[in-house]
Chain A
Amino acid sequence: QAPSRDAVRQLCQESFSSPPAALGPLARRACPGLAAAPEEAAQLVSALHNLTRHVVYRGLTKPEDILALFPENFHQNLKNLLTKIILENVSAWRNEAQASQISLPRLVDMDWRVDIKTSSDNISRMAVPTCLLQLKIQEDAALCGNNPVVSAMTVELSKETLDTMLEGLGRIRDQLSAVANK
């Protein structure tokens, strides 16, 4: 009953991306386009959500696998259309799922500058270089939904601290190469 293929595609995408709580409002929005009753729309949207999420969860990539999910007497053309739409989107949806995975706060940006300290209350003349590092950290996307909170933290590193840090980072790099080469 959908007006066009694109409408189906759009509905699939929105159903996948919505968290379960947002499916109700999505169904209500979809009602007019589908000329369906509210309960039917809600059922449809919920079914699309579950279907698309299941495909992404299992990592299904073959058309046969997806076609197998539909019940036997499902409308043939619609089944093929849905399968095609799902296959088109599955890799973008996979990335979306990974990006919104729970995680620690994520580093989103970093900036640095080097200052030379020339004077202080302890010593009136000196020339000590120091590094200021600003890290922009985004809170867990899953918690923030559409309004991620980004905080900036500026830390100061002396040359000695930086050297120690680089040693640590070098060790991480070596460990990563060892893992990659296994």
Chain B
Amino acid sequence: MGLLNFSPEPLPEAVSGDMHSLNQLGAQQFCALTDVLFRFLTEPKEVERFLAQLSDFASTNKISLGALKSIVKSVLLVPSGALKRNLSSEQVRADFIALGLSEEKASYFAEQWKLNSPALTRLAVGQTLMINQLIDMEWKFGVTAGSSELEKVGSIFLQLKLVVKKGGQMENVYMELTLPQFYSFLHEMERVKTSLESFS
């Protein structure tokens, strides 16, 4: 096997056998399997549904589930590597052909890749590391009526609660702002928005 676009490292041994088995599938079956795979890739949380669909596919097409799982594992290496390396659909197609898949099947897969890659890229970007990600913000404001030092006060306070994801856990950050601080904060955040928009 020559150099592949999607992976610089040597592939696991099972891959060539799996590709051969994949090639044996009829065109219709291959399309159906590809659809199942992309549905999973675009909704990675739906693991149970994916496994159920694989199981159905295996019984409908008289393939053993174990063999099917091995094939799926090998096939999924390609889109995952392609996503990391921002590969084009031509490159994906070329890789499948290099792996021994028929031109027809490789083209079909590459087409599906092209259709799905915006959604897949968005998903991958969404998983990018974020430091202390702001998850939620709650607020309340009111008037301080009195205190132990001052019988009548009448000043407005604004309280913010920020929910921040620190590592795996959520942390609540509470703070109070005076009105001038609030307006200044709002103004700064609008400047940030302008800045972010200019880079999008």
B133 near A155 with CB under 8 A, answer yes
Q: Is B4 an interface residue, CB under 8 A from the partner? A: no
Q: How close is B175's CB to chain A, nearest CB, in angstroms?
A: 5
Contact assessment for B164 and A155 in the assembled complex, using a CB-CB cutoff below 8 Å:
yes
Minimum Cβ distance to chain A for residue B151 (Å): 5
Which residues of chain B are near A43, meaning CB under 8 Å?
none
Q: Pick from B20-28, B29-37, B182-190 the stretch touching chain A.
A: B182-190
- Contact stretch, chosen from B11-19, B45-53, B68-76, B82-90: B82-90
Shortest CB–CB separation between residue A39 and chain B, in angstroms? 27
Q: In the complex, are the beta carbons of A122 and B84 less than 8 A apart?
A: yes
Pair A56/B125 contact, Cβ less than 8 Å: no
Contact A58 B151 (CB under 8 A): yes
Q: Which residues of A contact B3 (CB under 8 A)?
A: none
Q: A117-B128, A137-B175, A161-B134 are in contact. Are A172 and B182 (CB under 8 A)?
A: yes
A129, A133, A163, A176: the one contacting B199 at CB < 8 Å is A129
Known interface pairs A98-B155, A120-B129, A122-B83. Does A165 touch B150 (Cβ–Cβ under 8 Å)? no
Name the contact of A163 in the complex, choosing from B156, B174, B175, B193 (C-beta under 8 A). Answer: B193
Whether a CB of chain B sits under 8 angstroms from the CB of A50 is no
A18 within 8 A of B: no
Binding-face segment, B91-99, B100-108, B137-145 = B137-145
A5 contact set on B, CB distance < 8 A: none
Which residues from A are CB-within-8-Å of B152?
59
Distance of A133 Cα from B185 Cα, bound (Å): 11
* Interface contact A114-B192, CB-CB below 8 Å: yes
Contact partners of B83 in chain A: CB under 8 A: 122-123
**Chain B, Cβ-Cβ closest to A175:** B141
Instruction: Give complex CA distance A67, B151 in Å.
Output: 20
Say whether A110 contacts B193, CB under 8 Å: no
* A169-B124 CB under 8 A given contacts A107-B176, A155-B164, A163-B193: no
- A105 part of interface (Cβ distance < 8 Å): yes
**Does A36 sit within 8 A of B, measured CB to CB?**
no
List 19 A-B residue pairs with CB atoms under 8 Å apart, sorted by A's residue number. Answer: A56-B150, A57-B150, A57-B151, A97-B150, A101-B149, A103-B157, A105-B176, A123-B124, A126-B125, A126-B128, A128-B125, A153-B164, A162-B189, A162-B192, A165-B137, A168-B137, A172-B139, A176-B182, A179-B156
Give me 4 other A-B pairs in contact (C-beta within 8 A), A57-B150, A107-B185 excluded: A122-B124, A161-B134, A165-B137, A172-B158
